[in-house]
Amino acid sequence: MAEKTVADIVAVVRGVEPACQPVAVRFPHDPTAGDCILESLMALRPTYGASCTEVVLPLEVMERPRPQADKALFRLSERYLTMRSAQDDEAALGYVGLVRNAVQRALAEGNCEQETIARELGCGVRTLQRRLAREGATLRGIVDECRRERARALLEKKWTIAEVGFALGYSEPAAFQHAFRRWYGVSPRAWSQSLPQATG
Q: Please, are residues 9 and 20 in contact by the beta-carbon 8 Å criterion?
A: no
Q: Please, are residues 24 and 47 in contact by the beta-carbon 8 Å criterion?
A: yes
Nearest CA to 18 out of 68, 54, 61 is that of: 61
| DSSP symbol at 47 | B
Residue type, 118: A
124-181 pLDDT, tens digit per residue, is 999 999 999 998 999 999 999 999 999 999 999 999 999 999 989 888 889 999 999 9
Q: Global pTM? A: 0.53
Query: Three-state DSSP class for 7?
Result: helix
- Which residues does 80 contact at the CB level (< 8 Å), separation at least 6? none
Cα 192 to Cα 111, 153, 157, 164, 196, distances in angstroms: 25, 11, 10, 12, 9
Q: Taking the CA atoms of the chain, what radius of gyration do you get in angstroms?
A: 28
- Please give the pLDDT value at position 200: 42
Q: Please state which of the four CATH numbers 1.10.3130.10, 1.10.10.60, 3.40.605.10, 1.10.10.10 is assigned to the domain occupying 73-192.
A: 1.10.10.60
User: Which segments in the chain show pLDDT lower than 70?
Assistant: 34, 62, 85-93, 197-200
- Please give the pLDDT value at position 148: 94
Q: CA-to-CA distance for 182 and 163, rounded, in angstroms?
A: 19
Q: CA-to-CA distance for 22 and 17, rounded, in angstroms?
A: 11
What does the domain layout of the chain look like in residue ranges? Answer: 2-63, 73-192
Residue type, 55: V
List the alpha helices (DSSP H) in 45-138: 59-63, 71-109, 114-120, 125-134
Q: Please, are residues 159 and 135 in contact by the beta-carbon 8 Å criterion?
A: no
- Please give the pLDDT value at position 65: 73
Nearest CA to 141 out of 183, 84, 193, 91 is that of: 183
